[in-house]
Structure 1
């Protein structure tokens, strides 16, 4: 009898534990409203519902395929990462040392795609740019064919692609897993901000390296300056205090200052290459990039449109999603410009450009 009673007690206790654990699971995994969030997650008071909070990592990972207010934030930059990963694989085929490693995967990359994207951004974007590139390169190719026997180095171009992928992937990871705990939330947010700084710095490498390839002192000065500024920004952004919502505007100002620090080398580059026909093409792409980034930052800071109608844009259409789309658009515009810089340097070499640019830079210094 005693054994039976003790067994019944154990069964009852076991059932209670199961019920309590089920209640806990129900409580942890349901989507919350803004007022139910822990304080550290209360960042945007205009998004009222569909939040995840204190979710285990495996459930946070599974939420990649469920609907909540971070779903589109995750997927916009995850798809952007996959896009830039594909572009990187395409361009890696230009490098003999690694192209043979990609041969098993060449079935999904048509050969004409590789040629077009590697050397002719006009085909990748539009026919008008193609015609412009063809006409502008004809005048310089005859005079510089003897000096352009080898391709320019590709590492600055891959630094840009790598920086873009790091930024996009860290952003996706942050939006997916920051609901796990306070500690992981802080860490991922700081990595996300550092990723933006890395992307900005990496974006400077192709234009500065290829424009000033024949003037190494200017090349070194500009690249070392932006790298130092980027490191300073990363150190700043890794501070837990500066990662809080209170410093949202400060972070936007810091990123904008980094981006606008490129005005000096940009003006210098325009002066050095004043007679280069392809200058207008690259300027158009770079201005488009700047416009995309600035517009995205305005949405990020002002929290439009959700501040106009709180709750209406909880799942789709809020400012951070729009900001993500503008970041991808800006990165693609800069990618197009980088292709033009690369093709131009391959075609013109250093002899002709080096003489003209050294004369102009000497004049500027004097």
Structure 2
């Protein structure tokens, strides 16, 4: 493994001095590195294992049930995209600067799809939200997730990767998006005591874990306090992954309680609208990546 001085600046993590994989190796080397000790190993497994658990404990039982609930499956799809995008990005990004940009754009795409699916699941599962809300929420959800969260993250990552304000903008965009995703729950938070509603407690915990995750993502702690000590185990991004697992876990458990048989069918108007918005969002996300990679190839090839 290499030190931080032996890899390009783009591939360096702040305050992480050792454990970098060599560049320009055959692709199979990076797949095999899932079983080698390096500074991305824990990041790979902390998001791969949850995919297996999600499938075994949530997706398969939902599909095998007599009436699979469409809103719950939408959230499970988004959660799987988040975990899979992160897993593959941390596994393969070290091959070259161009690989680094591409795979982390895929990672950001997974985050964007997950965010979109959280909003869509909450929209589909809520009852009596009102006609005006139903008409306005889905178009505005696309605005909050795609331009505000996803595009600000990816565009600055590709065009201005070393800009100091980039991470602050990313954190603020994610916070704005997270607050907006709670809009479908507002009526319940106002009318139902949270101590009487297990699902609202889980939604609240997921938001709290998200706030905690921002400390590790934005603060680079604890490695900034002891550079070189947490190179392999315990640095901020690894702890961020653990917090995101808690966010996702609370969300899927809350969805299990919120999604009932009345909203199960994919042919309900709300669910059909949800599906259309999901396809539009995914299409915009991947078209954005395609265009940004043209810029990245000019910079890094």
TM-score range, shorter chain: 0.7 to 0.9
Partner in structure 1 of residue 276 of structure 2: none
Matching residue of 1:265: 184
**Counterpart residue number, 2:174:** 255
Whether 2:213 is the aligned partner of 1:305: answer no
Distance 1:230 1:279 in 2: 31
- Distance in structure 1 (CA, Å) of the matches to 2:194 and 2:45: 39
CA distance in 2, matches of 1:179, 1:293: 27
* TM-score of the two chains, using structure 2 as the length reference: 0.78
The answer for the alignment partner of 1:91 in structure 2 is 62
Question: Alignment partner of 1:50: what SS?
Answer: strand
Q: Is residue 2:42 matched to residue 1:42? A: no
Map 1:73-152 to 2 at 5 A: 73-86=43-56, 87-94=58-65
Does the 8 Å contact 1:305/1:318 carry over to 2?
A: yes
- The whole-number CA distance in structure 2 between the counterparts of 1:245 and 1:61 is 31
Change (3 A) 1:76 1:283: same
Deviations 1:19-58 (A, max 9, x none): xxxxxxxxxxxx10111111221232x1110101313211
Q: Give the one of 172, 181, 198 matched to 2:113.
A: 198
Q: 2:36 aligns with which of 62, 66, 87?
A: 66
Q: Give the corresponding residue for 1:359.
A: none
1:186, 1:243 within 8 Å by CA — same for their partners in 2? no
User: After the TM superposition, which residues 291-330 of structure 1 pair with which residues of structure 2 at under 5 Å, given as runs?
Assistant: 291-330=208-247
1:199 alignment partner, SS class: helix
Task: Give the distance between the partners of 2:95 and 2:39, measured in 1 at CA.
Answer: 15
What does 1:321-340 align with in structure 2 at a 5 Å threshold? 321-340=238-257
CA 1:242–1:164: 2 relative to 1, 3 Å: farther
In 2, distance between residues paired with 1:316 and 1:269?
A: 41
- Which ranges in structure 2 are unaligned for 5 or more consecutive residues? 265-301
2:226 counterpart of 1:289: no
Write the distance in 2 (CA, Å) between the matches of 1:296 and 1:209.
27
- Is the CA contact 1:299–1:320 (under 8 Å) kept in the aligned structure 2? yes
Name segments (4+ residues, structure 1) moved above 4 Å: 242-245, 275-279, 344-347
The alpha-carbon distance between structure 1 residues 220 and 243, as it changes in their structure 2 partners (threshold 3 A), is: farther
Partner of 1:176: 91
Q: Report the Cα distance in structure 2 between the residues aligned to 1:220 and 1:154, rounded to whole angstroms.
A: 22
**Conserved in 1, the CA contact under 8 Å of 2:194 and 2:200?**
no
Q: CA deviation at 1:281?
A: 1.7
Count of matched residue pairs:
258
Shift of residue 154, structure 1, vs aligned partner: 2.2
Q: 1:277 to 1:322 in 2, by over 3 A?
A: closer
How far 1:69 sits from its partner (Å)? 0.6
Which blocks of at least 5 consecutive residues in structure 1 are unaligned? 1-30, 96-150, 348-366
Q: Over aligned residue pairs, what C-alpha RMSD do you find?
A: 2.4
Q: 1:279 to 1:270 in 2, by over 3 A?
A: farther
- Whole-Å separation in 2 of the counterparts to 1:343 and 1:260: 24
Greater C-alpha radius of gyration? 1
State the Cα deviation string for residues 265-320 of structure 1 (Å, max 9, x = none): 3323334xx25899622221111101111101111111111111111111111111
> Deviation of residue 214 (structure 1)?
6.8
Does residue 51 (structure 1) correspond to residue 20 (structure 2)? The answer is yes
Correspondence for 1:226 among 127, 132, 141: 141
Normalized against structure 1, the TM-score is what?
A: 0.65
**Alpha carbons 1:270, 1:279 under 8 Å: kept:** no
1:165: how far off? 0.5
